Amino acid sequence: MKFPDFSYARPATISEAIKLLSGNDDARPLAGGQSLLPMMALRMASPGLLVDLGLIEELAVIADGDATLRIGAMVTHDTTARSEAVARRTPLLRQALHHVAHQAVRNRGTLGGSLANADGSAEMPVVAVALDAVMTLQGPDGVRRIRADEFFQGHYTTAIGEGELLTCIDFPDSARSWAFEEVSRRPGDFALAMVAAGLQIANGKCLNASLVIGGVSDRPIRSESAAAVLDGRTLDRAVATEAAQIALDGVRVRSDIHADARFRTELAKNLVVRALLRAGGAND
């Protein structure tokens, strides 16, 4: 299908991009185009102006800083997956990227585009919430920073305001050992369900656990109560199964053409168990 008509701008700086986006409801940032362009072709989106961020060099930098690993919004999935700093400091991000689409999509798709797109079945939002990432937004009224668990507000809905750009994402170092588990219909498809589990083991006991589930709802779900039940326990299959039950309790799991709610719930529980056992160093 042909694209609807649109105008196109390719600014070289963040401030130029913000100027183009501000006060124009019809303008949309264009990152890798791997979600926005198909949506336009399908007439699910028809922006009058595409503001291509591809020339803005400062958005495409990975900064291996003292306090955090900062990834620019325009860093591609492929560059992120190949980064030595990412492998060292945020191995969970690298694990999850193996599940994102296919190489051709990863060559163009970006971290910022994936987070701003906020698909409820996408991997990067789950990782951002699990790792307590902080998003930097820049707009006509200046710069603000927002935590990942406040950034995602629903399927395709985020805290990005009018005229604002997501410029970079800060990942603080994590002392936890992490595991990411996902099931999709085919390799590279969006997830039916996925889980990021992180924990520490001290004297054989589990502490500081963190559990985030994706693909079952319109945004990543962090389960504080499931994490709490693990505290001070010896991690085994029975304990992980108890945590999985609690994690999915009361969650309104969605049904769609790919899987109904019951199937997704059971899938997610199994993934919680597998991810917890892997994070704890036990074989499943």
Please report, as ranges, the residues that interact with ligand FAD according to CB under 6 A. 28-36, 38, 53, 73, 100-101, 105, 109-110, 112-114, 116-117, 122-124, 160, 165-166, 188-190
Residue closer to ligand FAD, measured from CB, 30 or 209: 30
Task: Answer whether 30's CB lies under 8 Å from 6's CB.
Answer: no
CB of residue 67 to ligand FAD, shortest distance in Å: 22
Residue nearest to ligand FAD (CB): 109
CB of residue 38 to ligand FAD, shortest distance in Å: 6
Residue closer to ligand FAD, measured from CB, 125 or 280: 125
Residue closer to ligand FAD, measured from CB, 68 or 80: 80
CB of residue 50 to ligand FAD, shortest distance in Å: 8
Q: Which residue has the tokens 């791997």?
A: 34
Residue among 182, 213, 223, 12 at smallest CA distance from 96: 182
CB of residue 114 to ligand FAD, shortest distance in Å: 4
Residue among 185, 239, 237, 247 at smallest CA distance from 217: 247
User: Exposed (0-12), middle (13-18) or buried (19+): which is 258, by Cβ within 10 Å?
Assistant: middle
Residue 17: φ, ψ to 5°: -60, -45
Q: How far apart are CA 261 and CA 275, in angstroms?
A: 21
CB of residue 166 to ligand FAD, shortest distance in Å: 4
Residue closer to ligand FAD, measured from CB, 41 or 282: 41
Residue closer to ligand FAD, measured from CB, 140 or 188: 188
Residue among 213, 207, 209, 214 at smallest CA distance from 198: 209
CB of residue 209 to ligand FAD, shortest distance in Å: 25
Residue closer to ligand FAD, measured from CB, 171 or 190: 190
**Which stretches does DSSP call E strand in the chain?**
7-9, 27-30, 49-52, 62-64, 68-72, 134-139, 142-147, 152-154, 157-158, 165-172, 177-183, 193-202, 205-214, 221-222
Residue closer to ligand FAD, measured from CB, 112 or 280: 112
CB neighbours of 110 closer than 8 A, spacing ≥ 6? 31, 32, 73, 74, 75, 76, 77
Residue 211: φ, ψ to 5°: -140, 120
CB of residue 200 to ligand FAD, shortest distance in Å: 28
